[in-house]
Structure 1
Amino acid sequence: MSWRAALVLVLLVAALVTAWSAWRQRATPLVESDGPARSDYVLHDFELTALGDEGTESFTLRAPLLEQHPQDRTIRIDTPLFLLPDGDGDYWEVRSRTALVTADHDELHLREDVRAEGTNNAGQPVTMQTERLDIYPDTRVAQSDERVTIEQPGSTIQGRGMEVDLASKRYEFHSEVKSRYVPSRR
């Protein structure tokens, strides 16, 4: 067999293998998805100020990552810092590991290592800690069904289930309440 005949035979086999491979790839059906697998939008390292119905500040949000889910329009946020005005010109600083904002944007669901810092009516610092906290910015109410610890100078209060009015700075525990009072020195 001459070298030309061998080359023609190799080229013929290569052409047949290529045609067979192209035919097999074309014959496989495309996989259809139920919807987009990616977010509607993504924000990185941002600050956002949300306004209420009257045009007043509802809350300010700072976070490294925000993603809106395309099907249910909810928003997932990583390590958020919410600044919630209390009505007296001060802010509650509320942090958590994750947060979810409802599609209507009227509920904030903070999860894992939630910590809220503000002031009481006497202007002293107050700290709340829990694992879950739901905030309703329009009514300035926060609530939790989990164990909550509130610390302020001279006292610590713990309980399960709590509701706090962020504007009036009044809170109410629902069960398992324990209080520890440490008088100040005079």
Structure 2
Amino acid sequence: MRSSGAALFPIALLAALAGLTFWLSSATNDNDPKRRAKERHDPDFTVENFTVERFDDQGTKTQTLKARQMNHFPDDESTEVTFPELTYFTGDRPTQIDARSAWLNKDGKEVRLKGNVRLVKAAGAGHPQTVLQTEALTVFPEEELARGNTPVTLRQGGSVVSGDRIEYRGKENLAILEGRARGTFPRVQKQ
């Protein structure tokens, strides 16, 4: 008995379909750990109770970051930090920023702070202490710039000013309040 190519065609077609079905099943398998890891936002490492210090080219400390926990995420190279305390030692007056949490993009050029955010610029050289409080603030460390779209209160000496939004320019020591701004300023006594 001779078998013709026409008789073998259905068997070859079934084998090809079986192979394709197996390939589709493995390609879309949600149980593959490598495939799931790339699609999920899971940390690849965690650090607890740490301090990181940054120095300039001359060896002078410029920044310190302390926090309870840090998680790094490989899918977008972002970092999340709980209870961060960030101190900048630029200029003649150090600035401290703390919050309940922070998110940093992959190169650290954008930091989003959330929950009881406080920025404190120390008093010095005829300038009173400045305290900024809000619920969310985005900081651009290299530019010493901070922006917030939530209600904010700013205290400097005896003066208290609040507004709906803020832009804080650290290099200029300038705060720009937007929206409904209101303030209380102490009366200056003439001598």
TM-score (norm. length: structure 2): 0.73
Identity %: 21
Q: Which residue of 1 aligns with 2:110?
A: 107
Is 2:44 aligned against 1:40? Answer: yes
- Residue type matched to 2:102 in 1? A
Number of aligned residues: 157
Please report how far the alpha carbon of residue 53 of structure 1 lies from its aligned counterpart in structure 2 after TM superposition: 9.3
Match of 1:176, SS state, is: coil
CA contact (8 A) 1:82 1:93 kept: yes
Greater share of strand = 1
- In structure 2, distance between residues paired with 1:111 and 1:173: 19
- In structure 1, distance between residues paired with 2:169 and 2:110: 15
Mapping of residues 84-95 of structure 1, within 5 Å: 84-88=88-92, 90-95=93-98
Is 2:31 aligned against 1:31? Answer: yes
Is 2:102 aligned against 1:133? Answer: no
- In structure 2, distance between residues paired with 1:66 and 1:142: 22
Give 2:71's match in structure 1, choosing from 53, 67, 72. Answer: 67
Please report how far the alpha carbon of residue 166 of structure 1 lies from its aligned counterpart in structure 2 after TM superposition: 1.2
TM-score (norm. length: structure 1): 0.74
Q: Which runs of 5+ in 2 are unaligned?
A: 1-28
Match of 2:133, SS state, is: strand
- Residue type matched to 1:43 in 2? V
Q: Which runs of 5+ in 1 are unaligned?
A: 1-28
CA contact (8 A) 1:92 1:117 kept: yes
- In structure 1, distance between residues paired with 2:103 and 2:58: 24
